[in-house]
Homo-oligomer: A and B are copies of this chain.
Amino acid sequence: MNNRLRVLRAERAWSQQELADRLDVSRQSVNAIETGKYDPSLPLAFRIADVFGLAIEEIFLRD
């Protein structure tokens, strides 16, 4: 399960902390997802999609 989180965040010039606040999770969680330590829960994946205004399939990719 690959994801384009880092790129999308860079496009908006957000820090991990800034994204974490918008998602209402810890900064470390954002970092862990970006570095591929684990996948987000489905509800969090939806919130991520909402924050970026994209579909889940446009952010998370089947590897």
Contacts and interface: CB of A to CB of B under 8 A. Distances in A.
Interface string A24-43: 00000000000000011111
21 contacts: A1-B42, A1-B43, A1-B46, A39-B41, A39-B42, A39-B43, A40-B42, A41-B41, A41-B42, A42-B42, A42-B45, A42-B60, A45-B45, A46-B60, A46-B62, A49-B57, A55-B55, A55-B56, A55-B57, A56-B56, A56-B57
Interface in A1-57: 1, 39-43, 45-46, 49, 55-57
Interface range on chain A (Cβ under 8 Å from partner): 10 to 19
Interface of A: 1, 39-43, 45-46, 49, 55-57, 60, 62
